């Protein structure tokens, strides 16, 4: 009799262990609480063995469910405040987030997923004066303020003009990851292909096999088989226009003309030049008033310059302030 009981006990322990494993990985539980859960499940199994053989095959499934419930209840932690990592700074139409359509000024939290419609887009301001633009038809998760997962579509990042920063940003895709070294760049993940285009600075692209470097003017295309194609794109190429159109609005009120022109040149990828140092100083001392709300950067530049005393020339590549 004792021998049979020992066999049943050993069998019950083995079964309980298997059932507990079905619950998957779980947080650490205090030893006394874990012991109580184990004993409860063991007692339930022993009770089920006394039922008719016909119904015995149902016990493991039902018991596994009860184990999952117990574990879930034990590891459930109190609600923790959401960590805000950014702020929506510009919204085109039909952008949608996990909490509905975002508005300018809305917070972006760690873990938020934002999806944009086919005719929409938005811009998010992040710590360190970083601007992340999300193109139409894109789904992206904001994992942290310097780490993101792009599921589909295209994003553009402007991390400022400081070549070396303490915290680069990384954009992950299923094919590989792109990490910036003080730059403006875009990452596209469409049809299982990763495209990284660098407007300024440098970006390191890595996958499971290799690491590649893309510098200003480079376009790097990587497929799942680790095939790599390199190309060239100018900083003022039309392919950047979608990103410029999502730029956060520049508040010109009481700003200098020089500040505004530097912003406009950066957004359009054009070179800003002055015919003389005196003209540069003059632009620095010229204060602006009003608004360029609703203007794309290229249109804003010409609109503002036309109201000043400065002569200028704007072509595809540059903004020149003339004598």
Sequence spans of domains, the chain = 2-75, 84-241, 250-322
Query: Among 133-142, 156-165, 221-230, which is the least confidently predicted range?
Result: 156-165
58-65 long-range contacts (CB < 8 A, ≥24 apart) are 60/15, 60/19, 63/19, 64/19, 64/22, 64/23
CB atoms within 10 A of CB 86: 21
pLDDT tier at 59, thresholds 50, 70, 90 = very low
Residue 170's pLDDT band, with cuts at 50, 70 and 90, is very high
Q: For residue 262, how many C-alpha atoms fall within 13 Å in the half-sphere facing its CB?
A: 10
Q: Output the CA torsion sign for 92, 93, 96, 101.
A: positive
Pull the structure tokens for residue 246.
């999502």
Mean pLDDT confidence for 217-241 = 93
Q: Token pair 């016909």 is at which residue? A: 54
Rg of the chain over Cα atoms, rounded to whole angstroms, equals 29
Identify the CATH class of 84-241: mainly beta
Which of 162, 130, 163 lies closest to 146, judged by CA?
A: 130
pLDDT for the residue numbered 14: 53
Tell whether the model's pLDDT for residue 24 goes beyond 50. no
92: confidence class by pLDDT, cuts 50, 70, 90: confident
% residues pLDDT > 70 (the chain): 71
**Mean pLDDT across the chain:** 80
Task: Taking residues 69-73, report their average pLDDT.
Answer: 32
6-15, 244-253, 314-323: least confident range = 6-15
Band of pLDDT at residue 147, cut at 50, 70 and 90: very high
Q: Rounded to 10 degrees, what is the CA torsion of 74, 79, 85, 89?
A: 140
The helix/strand/coil state of 202 is: strand
pLDDT of residue 53: 38
Residue where the block lists tokens 């601007």: 131
| pLDDT recorded at residue 227 | 86
Does the fold of domain 250-322 match that of domain 84-241?
no
Q: Which residue has the higher pLDDT, 230 or 19?
A: 230
pLDDT at residue number 63: 32
Q: How many CB atoms lie within 10 A of CB 177?
A: 20
Q: Residue 276's pLDDT band (boundaries 50, 70, 90)? A: very high
Looking at residue 37, its pLDDT comes to 44
Give the per-residue pLDDT at 67.
Answer: 34
For residues 48 and 317, the model is more confident at: 317
Q: Does residue 113 surpass a pLDDT of 60?
A: yes
Q: And the tokens for 146?
A: 């310097």
Of 18-22, 37-41, 95-99, 273-277, the least confident: 18-22
Name which of 61, 73, 54, 76 is nearest 22 in CA terms: 61
- Return the percentage of the chain with pLDDT > 90, whole number: 60
Q: What is the pLDDT of residues 176-219, one digit of tens each?
A: 999 998 889 999 999 999 999 999 999 999 998 899 999 999 99
In CATH, the number for domain 250-322 is 3.55.50.30
Q: Can you tell me the distance from the alpha carbon of 169 to that of 165, in angstroms, rounded to the nearest whole number?
A: 10
Within the chain, how many helices (H) and strands (E) appear? 7, 17
Nearest CA to 88 out of 102, 98, 76, 78 is that of 102
Backbone φ and ψ of 233, nearest 5°: -140, 130
What is the secondary structure of 179-226 as a DSSP string?
Answer: EEEEEEEEEEEETTEEEEEEEEEEEEEE-SS-EEEEETTEEEEE-TT-
How many beta carbons lie within 10 A of that of residue 256, not counting itself? 15
Q: What is the pLDDT of residue 181?
A: 87
């Amino acid at each position: 009799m004792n021998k049979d009981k020992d066999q049943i006990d050993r069998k019950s322990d083995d079964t309980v262990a298997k059932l507990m494993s079905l619950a998957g990985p779980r947080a650490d539980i205090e030893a006394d609480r874990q012991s109580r859960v184990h004993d409860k499940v063991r007692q339930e199994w022993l009770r089920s063995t006394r039922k008719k053989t016909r119904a015995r095959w149902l016990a493991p499934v039902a018991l596994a469910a009860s184990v999952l419930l117990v574990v879930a209840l034990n590891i459930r932690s109190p609600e923790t405040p959401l960590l805000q990592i950014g702020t929506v700074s510009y919204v085109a139409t039909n952008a949608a987030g996990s909490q509905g359509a975002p508005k300018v000024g809305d917070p972006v939290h760690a873990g938020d997923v934002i999806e944009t419609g086919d005719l929409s887009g938005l811009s998010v301001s992040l710590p360190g004066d970083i601007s992340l633009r999300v193109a139409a038809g894109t789904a992206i998760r904001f994992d942290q303020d310097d780490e993101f997962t792009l599921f589909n579509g295209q994003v553009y990042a402007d991390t400022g003009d400081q070549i070396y920063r303490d915290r680069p940003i990384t954009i992950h895709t299923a094919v590989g990851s792109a990490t910036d070294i003080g730059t403006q760049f875009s990452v596209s993940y469409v049809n299982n292909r990763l495209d990284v285009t660098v407007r300024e600075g440098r970006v390191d692209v890595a996958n499971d096999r290799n690491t590649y470097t893309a510098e200003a003017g480079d376009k790097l295309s990587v497929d799942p088989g680790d095939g790599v194609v390199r190309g060239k794109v100018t900083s003022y190429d039309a392919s950047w226009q979608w990103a410029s159109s999502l730029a956060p609005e520049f508040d010109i009120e009481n700003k200098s003309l020089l500040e505004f022109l530097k912003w406009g040149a950066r957004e359009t990828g054009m070179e800003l030049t002055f015919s003389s140092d005196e003209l540069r100083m003059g632009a620095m001392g010229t204060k602006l008033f009003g608004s360029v709300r609703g203007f794309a950067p290229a249109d804003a530049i010409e609109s503002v310059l036309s109201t000043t005393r400065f002569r200028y020339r704007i072509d595809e590549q540059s903004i020149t302030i003339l004598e």
